[in-house]
Amino acid sequence: MDEAKQGDTCTVDRILAIILEDPARLDRARERSLLDPRKDPNLRPVHQWKLTRDRDASMPCKQFGDEVNEELNRLAQDDADRTHSIPCHTYNHHLVAEENVKKKWKVEGIWNDKWTPLGPDPWLWKHEESLSSGSPATDQQRREREASRPFHRFMYQVSQERQRIQEPFMRFVRLRAKHSRPVEGAPPIDETNIPETWASLDINARAYQRVKDAWVERGIWYDKWGVLPGMTWKHEHSLEDMLLEELGPSPPAEDVGLSEPVPAASSVPNNGTHERAGGERPFEEWHTLIALQGPVYCVLIALAFSVTAFWVPTTFAHTADSV
């Protein structure tokens, strides 16, 4: 048997020796790394990056960009449907989308005239700005200051989505009221007299779910919120506090890894062939074995036993010949 095959056989034999010594050890390691990936120290940087990205997603400039992209998709759909929502002489669809979102934000009361190419960076919501010590704020200024908070933005978007859901049916109601003949004794059909089949649809629930799904997809929904958003965005919270809340305290440097401390080589019978200097044993193969799943793991174990069944008699034969 050449050196490469002999090395692979020794590796398999070491894995089997570890499993036979402590069968539950593999289950413990797999539970740590598979049941809750956030507890896996090797995946911790990935979750830190995702939390940082989602935290920044609630900033005004990022939300503005996301809504511009949504508006671009809507404009493209309008072109496909030939509704011509873009003027014929306009070729810069992105500029049209930006202007449309800007108008919507002004109607909503959350647009800040300080948001210009030469304005402050990063943008701040009105409720994030410090109150001026001069004249007291008017009622409109107070309303606009509160309008940029998550709760009020969410409720406003739900009301807008509700109107979008109703609009196709409202067009049908107006068209039917215009062309249908009145029935004697029946009330007229108009926007104030919606049939029960439509009233039975839970429009509010559909609008709520659509808006929430959009917020989750964009990363601005905070898992700490209940059914409705709170009054502060993610980026208003400390990143350190969010990391501690989501991932827990950082593990000590010596605990970073997937495996437990390697037992002493002398505790596992190995015929004196698996021991390294200092009584330590290589453990890379244990880390590899933990990562294997399902059928692959079963095939490896079956292969390990078959190779061991071939190698052990050969070892005994060589030992007998030498004696």
Tens digits of residue pLDDT in 70-128? 999 988 887 665 555 555 555 688 899 999 999 999 999 999 998 987 666 789 999 99
Q: Residue 277: its pLDDT value, please? A: 42
For 101-112, letters b (16+ CB in 10 Å) and e give beeebeebbbbb
pLDDT exceeds cutoff 90 at 130: no
Q: Residue 86: its pLDDT value, please? A: 57
Q: Residue 194: its pLDDT value, please? A: 55
Residues 6+ away with beta carbon under 8 Å from 15: 285, 286, 289, 304
Task: Residue 203: name the closest of 158, 173, 156, 170 by CA.
Answer: 158
Report yes or no: 99 and 92 within 8 Å, Cβ to Cβ.
no
Task: Answer yes or no: pTM beyond 0.75.
Answer: no
- Distance, CA of 135 to CA of 9 (rounded, Å): 83
pLDDT exceeds cutoff 90 at 63: yes
Report yes or no: 161 and 210 within 8 Å, Cβ to Cβ.
yes
- Distance, CA of 45 to CA of 165 (rounded, Å): 41
Q: Residue 178: its pLDDT value, please? A: 64
pLDDT exceeds cutoff 60 at 265: no
Q: Which two tokens stand for residue 14?
A: 């070491």
pLDDT exceeds cutoff 70 at 1: no
Residues 6+ away with beta carbon under 8 Å from 138: none
What value does the mean pLDDT take over residues 191-209?
A: 67
pLDDT band at 204 (very low <50, low <70, confident <90, very high): confident
Helices (H), 184-257: 196-199, 203-218, 239-247
pLDDT band at 240 (very low <50, low <70, confident <90, very high): confident
pLDDT band at 235 (very low <50, low <70, confident <90, very high): very high
Q: For the chain, what are the domain ranges?
A: 14-47+255-322, 149-229
Least confident of 80-84, 142-146, 200-204: 80-84
